[in-house]
Structure 1
Amino acid sequence: MATGEEIAPALQDSWGDFWLFRFFVNAAGYASIVVPGFLLIQYFKRRNYLETGRGICFPVIKSCVFGSEVKSVHQDDGSLPPRAEPTESSTARQVFKLFCCAAGLQASYLTWGVLQERVMTRTYGATETDPGEKFKDSQFLVFMNRILAFTVAGLYCALTKQPRHGAPMYKYSFASLSNILSSWCQYEALKYISFPTQVLAKASKVIPVMMMGKLVSRKSYEYWEYLTAALISVGVSMFLLSSAPNRTVSTVTTFSGIVLLAGYIIFDSFTSNWQDALFTYKMSPVQMMFGVNVFSCLFTVGSLLEQGALLESMRFMARHSEFTAHAVLLSVCSACGQLFIFYTINQFGAAVFTIIMTLRQAFAILLSCLIYGHTVTVVGGLGIAVVFMALFLRVYARSRMKKRSKKLPLGETPVQKV
């Protein structure tokens, strides 16, 4: 009897910590906000509230449900202001800006990656007699990141001139929900796989994107896109297979990590595609950042309060000041990194930004191996090199294709890319 009473709470705790159980609990919390919101939106639309509504709440409901402007004609990167081409007289200034952007992106996201692995895989409060405890609630970390990003984006919009906003606010909730789930999967995956494996999986998400484009959108691709996708697949396979004999994790753990990475890629792909569709409204990237993070804060804080996890996480912060510092710095790096992304793309274009972030992924793997002692075999190192060589080749080939497409006669259109 005593043994049974001791085992039951242990089993309950293990089920409570299992990622699939927590995923459904979190999803139920989001549904408790999404479903009433959906019903309210349908109610206002059926009542034709835009023509019949009056009163003090009318501007708020109109902004949230209907918006205020029609869509603009969507073009590639049309949401961004035109990028000024550097002149010879400002070459030194442009080089300095590029250096600052690269340094800001590297510092923000390398620090973010190191802290992410520290928070999710190491214990806090360990002593000679006490093994310490791990922080388990990934959703709280997502909330911390989003609340600071919301604050930074709000201040930026308030202090700088922005386009008049016209999108219905509720449309941000779709990107927000998928963004929350992708971030949650990313944090949870670190409990089951190593950080280098996660980085390589994120770098290789171009493969499922191409497959989805081929099956769903009937897109066609150039030969170099198939070549680089094949090289990425080969490189990732080399890394994973060479690391397998040295692993001590179980098959279930490995499978959980793969499922969570797949969830991250699926949700993240939806987020980027939905945001691209939202940019057909006249808005700036910082307005997008603000709108998405408004709903992210609403969803995460609502779910945390329903589960009682917000107070539990706050108590963990009170017990471990080191965790508090890590969580705050993690949020600061995430928010600053987003601003650096917008500024870099605006000033230098997507190709330069992609090169910087590809280098960041390589540096992140190196830092993780040095700090946390991950071992990489010679074959695994070659696999990493193949992946990043393919990514750089992809950036180079795409830039060449863009230059060629500008020279095409009217009436000819280049092949669609991902």
Structure 2
Amino acid sequence: MRFGVCILFVLLVACQVTAKEKTKAQEREENLVLTRNERDSSENQGEPGHNSSGDDWKEFWAVRLAINLVGYATIFVPGYLIIRHLRRTRYNESAGPGFLPNLAVLCVFGREQHASATAEEGNVGGKGASSSPTPAEEPFFTRALRLVICVIGLQVSYLTWGVLQERIMTIEYGRTATQPGEFFKDSQFLVFINRILAFVMALIVITVRKQPVHTAPLYKYSFSSFSNIMSSWCQYEALKFVSFPTQVLAKASKVIPVMLMGKVVNGKTYAYHEYITAAMISVGVSLFLLTSGDATKHKDSVTTTSGLAMLVGYMLFDSFTSNWQGALFTSYKMSSIQMMAGVNLFSCLLTSVSLIEQGGFTSSAAFMLRHPDFIFAAVILSICSASGQLFIFYTISRYGPVVFVIIMTVRQGFAILLSCIIYGHPVTIIGFVGILLVFLALFLRIYANDRQRKMKKLAASNPPGSGSKV
């Protein structure tokens, strides 16, 4: 533990030195081109990539969000009417043979009438993992090797993904000493390329590895697909207003609004350790935000409010996604890969229709032609996102959610340090203490929840009066 803290301290010092050097270099460069770009800089300080033209209002995030929602509505509204009509007329009872009737039944009704039989069949031979030894039957070395592979896969996938995400959304492409660059603005296009590659990967896994018989109506994936799209969109848009370390800490602290929502809406009670860790997270985030120089990239209240709105939107949509997918897992017993394929299928459909309506494919293609280096970054970003999803599902299925949460919590800490070192985000000693406090609270929460879960399981397996007497 002490060794790890020493490493983090060394990285912090390196981070501060790098930040100072980059700040000085940027100041020298800005002084050289200040005269030429002064007018553009004053007009563009509201938002990265903001061009001075009569269409400035279209670049505001709320307008882009409204346009995206209108595009999604062109799918959801007709889809709702069709589903309502088919259910009212009980189309599944009168549908004839053929591809289209079967597709309509699969999308609207699924195989609900055979749910019990197919669920049993899926448990017997559907998952494909039944033929392989269970984790308990594997030798220790094999399990350890698998875990190391999962850790490396998750860390490499998502650390690379985080670095590229920040680069794509915050770096000016084509900028030189004599010519200003331009920012990539269409977050929805990034969501599309991430989802289509993840969908293809899921189909490949389904083809290679046997899955349980699918019983869920396909349209039910559209709800978590929509919330997944919106959470990703908010995540990309937030980087236009807040730094990447701020975004990561906001993700780590989403336990606080979840607890508040559960208390107010459902009257849920929490253990003492949950209140304590929530308070630690609040203090840690506050220390970081109040002492870090670029916690928000723009100091005016409008952009600060926009960044906060994006982070809140991300947390709300992301919370709905996990809860809805959990409900589908409980009701229909599909595999994780089937869930991945279903969600990404509707994500591709929704984003592609919206991009076509807005001309997003054309503008993004033109941007790629002007800046070929963007293509490489976007492709690697998509590969990391899709492979990361596969590692997520595999890790959870093999080692459970607690091990996965620990791995991803460590990844968030490394992501902050990597971002600070590469992009020169200034972090003070107090801000660094805030980061440590947040992650200490997360690890305490994981440990306490796991301990509480084991005690409940032990109490359930040994009820009072059931112990053997000698």
Fold conserved between structures, TM > 0.5: yes
1:356 and 2:407 aligned: yes
- Which secondary structure state, in structure 2, belongs to the residue aligned with residue 356 of structure 1? helix
CA distance in 2, matches of 1:245, 1:12: 30
CA distance in 2, matches of 1:141, 1:98: 30
- The one of 275, 295, 308 aligned to 1:258: 308
- Contact 2:68 2:354 (8 Å CA) reproduced: yes
- The one of 286, 289, 300 aligned to 2:337: 286
CA 1:398–1:84: 2 relative to 1, 3 Å: farther
Q: Which runs of 5+ in 2 are unaligned?
A: 1-42, 44-50, 464-470
> Within 5 A, what are the aligned runs for 1:7-406?
10-56=52-98, 57-69=100-112, 84-86=134-136, 90-243=139-292, 249-279=299-329, 280-406=331-457
Shift in Å, 1:127: 2.5
- Contact 2:281 2:437 (8 Å CA) reproduced: yes
CA distance in 1, matches of 2:69, 2:407: 35
- Quote the residue 1:416 is aligned against: none
CA distance in 2, matches of 1:246, 1:86: 45
- Contact 1:164 1:282 (8 Å CA) reproduced: no
Shift in Å, 1:321: 1.2
400-409 or 133-142: which moved more? 400-409
CA distance in 1, matches of 2:171, 2:381: 15
CA distance in 1, matches of 2:275, 2:167: 36
Q: Which runs of 5+ in 1 are unaligned?
A: 1-6, 413-418
Shift in Å, 1:129: 2.4
130-139 or 298-307: which moved more? 130-139
CA distance in 2, matches of 1:288, 1:51: 27
Q: Percent identity?
A: 57
Q: What CA deviation, in whole Å up to 9, does each residue of 1:67-119 have, x standing for no partner?
A: 103667x9xxx9997993445x7111211111111000000000000000000
Shift in Å, 1:54: 1.9
108-117 or 306-315: which moved more? 306-315
- Contact 1:125 1:320 (8 Å CA) reproduced: yes
The normalised TM-score by structure 1 is 0.91
Shift in Å, 1:53: 2.2
- Which secondary structure state, in structure 2, belongs to the residue aligned with residue 177 of structure 1? helix
Report how many residues are paired: 401
**Code of the aligned partner of 2:322:** S
Shift in Å, 1:260: 0.4
Q: What CA deviation, in whole Å up to 9, does each residue of 1:157-185 have, x standing for no partner?
A: 11110000000000000000010000000
Shift in Å, 1:207: 0.9
CA distance in 1, matches of 2:136, 2:278: 33
Shift in Å, 1:133: 1.3
The normalised TM-score by structure 2 is 0.81
**Code of the aligned partner of 1:20:** A
**Code of the aligned partner of 2:204:** L
- Contact 1:64 1:169 (8 Å CA) reproduced: yes
- Which secondary structure state, in structure 1, belongs to the residue aligned with residue 139 of structure 2? helix
**Code of the aligned partner of 2:112:** E
Shift in Å, 1:128: 3.0
RMSD across aligned positions (CA): 2.3
Q: What CA deviation, in whole Å up to 9, does each residue of 1:285-322 have, x standing for no partner?
A: 00000000000000000000000111110121122111
CA 1:235–1:160: 2 relative to 1, 3 Å: same
